[in-house]
Structure 1
Amino acid sequence: MIQMKTMNRGAIVGPLYFVIAGALFAGSNTAVQGAGMVYGVPSATIAFWQYALASIAVLPMVWTASWRSDRPLMHLLRVVLAAIGVQFWVAGLAVVPIWQAVALILTSPLFVTLGAGLFLKEHLSASRVIAVLVGAVGGAIILAPWKDAFQWAALMPVAAAAFWAGSSLVTKELTKTENAGTLTLALLVLLVPVNGLAAMGSGFTVTPEALWLVALAGLLVAGAQYLLARAYMVADAAYLQPFDHLKLPLNVALGIVFFGFAPPGMMWIGAGVIIGASGWVMRDEVG
């Protein structure tokens, strides 16, 4: 009975953490796109300062956590995968509308769900697999690639999705021995020098007009990464993936409000499919 209650609690709390993290990521993406597209700050420079400031911002949240780890190589692998994903993502946001980039990042749950079954030996129930596939269909409806002129830059969010999926799988593996504070701090702190190397070509200067956007992006990503680690601690990686689709309508709404990036009308149908898929898998797990 106790085990069932714990499982059901994780089935509710895990997605809640995941969805709130997605909302914070949506705000961070909007700030990053503003700094890059409106003020012309190089993407690598944004990534460096975003995660440097996030490292400082997260300290109060993880101050009491144990920062010692017996698995440094796993942390390093997680950071390298995440850093490559960050570079692809920020570069993509600088050239494609936010709704299009987020629609393409929806391929990440497909990678995670497959990887969770192959590498973490998680149970891939029919409801989990179908919900992820249905959510991906919803993303395709929103993207409507058959109507938009193809850009090679559109592949950058897909590459980011693949590398972030790998980082998510390592995160889930690390939750077996690490706490959320250690996971968050290790990721953010180790990302700073990696992103710094990538920024050496473009420089580290941020225009005064864009400084507040970069700072906001750092604050939001700090909270998002912490909640993401908490989510993986209480729920299976494969189970959480359909809820990742919910960040799509959040990013679309912010893109419309701040940049006027209005996707085709089919976006609303696609968003309904995504939300329905996420609600269905959660109902199936809790029940």
Structure 2
Amino acid sequence: MLRTSPVRILGERDREAVRALLDTDPVGNVFVTSRLMTAGISAGNGTEVWGHVEHGRLAALCYSGANLVPVNAGPAAIRSFADHARWRGRRCSSIVGPVDAVGDFWQQVAPAWGPARAIRARQPVLEIAGEPAVAADPRVRRVRISELDILVPACVAMFTEEVGVPPDAGDGGALYRARIEELVRTGRAFARIEDGRVVFKAEIGAVTPQACQIQGVWVHPDLRGQGLSAPGMAAVVGHARADIAPRVTLYVNDFNTPARAAYQRVGFQQVGEVMSVLF
């Protein structure tokens, strides 16, 4: 890139400025904040954080890893990030972020990066601010490491159903299994397991001191429609607020009517919207 570009690759010396920007929206930025807390700003392994500088100060950033996520990015920043992304070439498997920012970014990079495998144009971001409004299922608990072989097939089924491709296609599932194992070992995988099968499950993926994000919510297909989701989610929320972070969030596909109804019964309320472009 030319030296006059408003985009530069950020490093550890930018930590305070990056943290101040992310802290303006702890819920919306929970994923990026969590990743940078875990790996640092100069993580390597193909991951970068791009900064958009205006008047000598950091005004926006873009997390560029397996997911590409713009943060606090208005039209000028998106234009700069899109220019940099076209020059760099696509290395991500998805673009995720606020609807306006991702829509603008995708419009600018699509001719060079397209086509997308799927576009989720509007995914409501939900947060629960207090105690769940329904009773928690007492049989939903933290998954034990000895139950990993029971949990992983359910996680693969959920991912395949949600994303449209299996997560274990490339390396036989070793990397995905390692990620699930990490969540189990850190106490962030929850499930109701009966007779050796998962009835309900969910994990807490991104975690910061301010917030955490639930992911991977799944009910066994044979048991759907029996009212398991809301009590299960209430249990996960209870564990999360007690042991992990005070604010609990997730995002959901706008067309997933049963899930949205279950989350509403638990007490989740919409606080934003994201758009996802999947490759």
TM range (shorter): under 0.3
- State TM-score, norm by structure 2: 0.27
In terms of fraction of residues, the more strand-rich structure is 2
In terms of fraction of residues, the more helix-rich structure is 1
